Chains A and B, each alone.
Chain A
Amino acid sequence: MGGVDDEEPALKRMKLSAKGLVGLANGSSSKEPVGGFSSDSMARLLPSEGDDQVVGSKGVIKRDEFVRIIAKALYSLGYRKSGARLEEESGIPLHSPGVNLFTQQVLDGNWDESVATLRKIGLTDDTIVRSASCLILEQKFFELLNGGKVMEALKTLREEITPLCRDSSRIRELSSCLVSPSPKQDIVKVRSRSKLLEELQKLLPPTVMIPEKRLEHLVEQALTLQREACPFHNSLDQMSLYSDHHCGKDLIPSRTVQILETHDDEVWFVQFSHNGKYLASASNDQTAIIWEVGVNGVCVKHRLSGHQKPISSVSWSPNDEELLTCGVEESIRRWDVSTGKCLQIYEKAGAGLVSCTWFPSGKHILSGLSDKSICMWELDGKEVESWKGQKSLKISDLDITADGEEIISICKPNTVLLFNKETKDERFIEERQTITSFSLSKDNKFLLVNLLNQEINLWNIEGNPKLIGKYKGHRRSRFIIRSCFGGLEQAFIASGSEDSQVYIWHRSSGEPIEALPGHSGAVNCVSWNPANPHMLASASDDRTIRIWGLNSLNKKYQHAHSNGIHYCNGGT
């Protein structure tokens, strides 16, 4: 280690030569703060300084910065004595004496002195000095005005503010305040002095005046990173600072807790209601079923018969009180959820309806037709608008954003159309492969697109659509297989598959998490309960729907009480 050590006191030398924690294990009560010394931080030590310049095992944290933000945090928490003691004990003042003086002058209202002090605290950027001075002088101006000292305010405006502040419109605004009868009608109300201090703090560089809540911000950043890195994060529990956050895989639904066997033929579609209290399923047997999700499991509420064709999809009304069902190239029926009665049938002569969705207002419905157009109906069956041209394909899904403005459908085999019905603007997502289905995220910012070649693509649809994720592993060669967002904050992607399994991926990393066996036929559709991140439903060609839950029985949301699988054959 050369000459550096020879000048240091013996105690220091012992610490410096310790690799790992050997030298520090005695819990020393020396005055020097103890840090995690590694050979790296030794190399950075300046021989003339007393304390080490860096703390932490990686040697990237500067001691004086660290102490200053801790001191700032102590003051913010209200522990003034502790903050002062820390400044004293470490010998590292939170702010330079000039800054402290400046702060005091601002709070005391010594405007002219504070402007003078401003020039002495070592600011190199003149524009900052000028902007800060303007803020202070404006405060002075308003306070004078409020105190009735109009002449002095005018003098301030003329002699001090005008030469300094170049913004002429602002000067005009200030002048008009002189004229207006009531100072309370100011364009900018007089703010409190502590608020002014906050504004000044934001203006000055952070090295001069430590920003508010800096330590809290750094800790929050770390927690956010931990949470994002946690692949199985699916729990609402609060994160602790004591250890790195790490959810186990046991928070992903992966065990069949119930098998629903009521349909007589392949089940093609399932979807939970928005409030998670109901599940709707659609089948090749030409019926749909509304299921009730209760504490003892899922059971049949109503069986909806009437369609003469298989039902390809359903759509829940925004308030979950009604349901739309769509018969393949046939009609749409609207049902009342509590009574199970069919309230309305929507049809069009010459074209079959192929998709359905509710308007967010709940007052209209939208449908794609076999002639590639899209139609809008009032609830009572009156057609109000129709968009012709190649807007939708026969096999296309249909969706609309929550603001009721953008309609999404597949307009060409490789293209998704995002069509703003008010402005008539069109945006497109162009894929290289044929698109089989898509799913919109809850926040309407992302679109999950299923492709013919067994890939699922995730697009960010804010602004220009951007491809941001890909998910692979499941199987698709003949059928429409659907995928969805789900879990806490929709952090996961789930999909059906022709190999009879349910696939789950971590959304941001694309990492596969689970492939759940159980079904004995292709899994056509999956739906994740929006109100319960631990519950998933899957619809299969084996005529059943499976409800998936957590492996452990001790979790809050677990539904099944038995260790086995709970079968439901439809009786209520």
Chain B
Amino acid sequence: MGRIFAVELDGRVYGCKSCNTHLALSTDLISRGFYCHRGKAYLFNNVVNFTSGEVVERMMLSGMHTVADIFCCRCGQIIGWKYEKSQKYKEGKFVLERGRIVDEIGFSTEFCVEGCVSMSDTEDD
């Protein structure tokens, strides 16, 4: 594969678990209360360094949504999905699977971000 183009983010960054490529800023994190069949997932405002798959209609916990899977641009691992058409607050946003990302790249990984079970964040997916 050619010379991969990947941007670097400044600040507290979530990255790809396989290759550490920067994916999202913690300031873009909207909700930690999402789920996918592999476990927990986070909703982000914006994600970088990804490529998208086909746009499909998919049945999810909260109903039918139009989504596209997204992959790390460097290693190609699936990292989550993007909402194309959905409820207003989700449209154009991204979900990264907790199991595919590492947080605080460069910072101590012991700082646990998913301890707060009492997250009242909306539902599903």
Contact = CB atoms under 8 A, between A and B. Distances in A.
Decide whether A and B assemble into one complex. Answer: yes
Interface of A: 266, 268, 284, 310, 312, 328, 393-395, 413, 434, 436, 452, 477-481, 498, 521-522, 524, 541
B51 interface: yes
A478 B48 CA distance: 11
Contacts of B6: 395
Nearest to B49: A478
A522 B5 CA distance: 14
B18 to A, nearest CB: 15
B3 A479 contact: yes
B2 A478 contact: yes
Given A477-B51, A478-B51, A478-B73, A413 B7 contact: yes
Given A266-B1, A479-B3, A541-B2, 14 more contacts: A268-B3, A310-B3, A434-B7, A434-B48, A478-B2, A478-B4, A478-B5, A479-B2, A479-B4, A480-B2, A480-B3, A480-B4, A480-B5, A541-B1
Contacts of A480: 2-5
Contact of B7 (A395, A479, A524): A395
Contacts of A434: 7, 48
A522 B2 contact: yes
A394 B8 contact: yes
Contacts of B7: 393, 395, 413, 434
Nearest to A390: B10
B59 to A, nearest CB: 28
B5 A436 contact: yes
- Which 8 A-B residue pairs are closest in the complex by CB-CB distance? A479-B2, A480-B5, A480-B3, A524-B2, A478-B73, A268-B3, A522-B2, A436-B5
Contact of B3 (A393, A413, A524): A524
Nearest to A266: B2
A478 B8 contact: no
A136 B2 CA distance: 72
Contact of B1 (A436, A452, A479): A479
Interface string B1-41: 11111111000000000000000000000000000000000
6 contacts: A266-B2, A284-B3, A452-B5, A478-B4, A478-B74, A521-B2
Of B2, B4, B73, chain A has the most CB atoms within 10 Å of the CB of B2
Contacts of A413: 7
A441 B8 CA distance: 28
B94 to A, nearest CB: 16
A47 B51 CA distance: 75
A395 B48 CA distance: 15
A521 B1 CA distance: 8
Given A477-B51, A478-B51, A478-B73, A268 B5 contact: no
Nearest to A414: B7
A266 B1 CA distance: 7
Nearest to B48: A434
A526 B6 CA distance: 21
Contacts of B5: 395, 436, 452, 478-480
Contacts of A268: 2-3
A93 to B, nearest CB: 70
A369 to B, nearest CB: 14
Interface string B43-54: 000001001000
Contacts of A452: 5
A390 to B, nearest CB: 9
A310 B1 CA distance: 13
A413 B7 CA distance: 7
Contacts of B74: 478
Contacts of A481: 2
A393 B4 CA distance: 14
Which of B3, B5, B48, B74 has the most chain A CB atoms inside 10 A of its CB? B3
Contacts of A394: 8
Contact of B8 (A266, A310, A393, A498): A393
A477 B6 CA distance: 11
Contacts of A477: 51, 73
A312 B51 contact: no
Contacts of A312: 3
A522 B73 CA distance: 15
Contacts of B1: 266, 478-479, 522, 541
Contacts of A310: 3
Contacts of B73: 477-478
A441 to B, nearest CB: 23
Contacts of A436: 5
Nearest to A267: B2
Most chain-A CB neighbours within 10 Å: which of B1, B51, B74? B1
B22 to A, nearest CB: 11
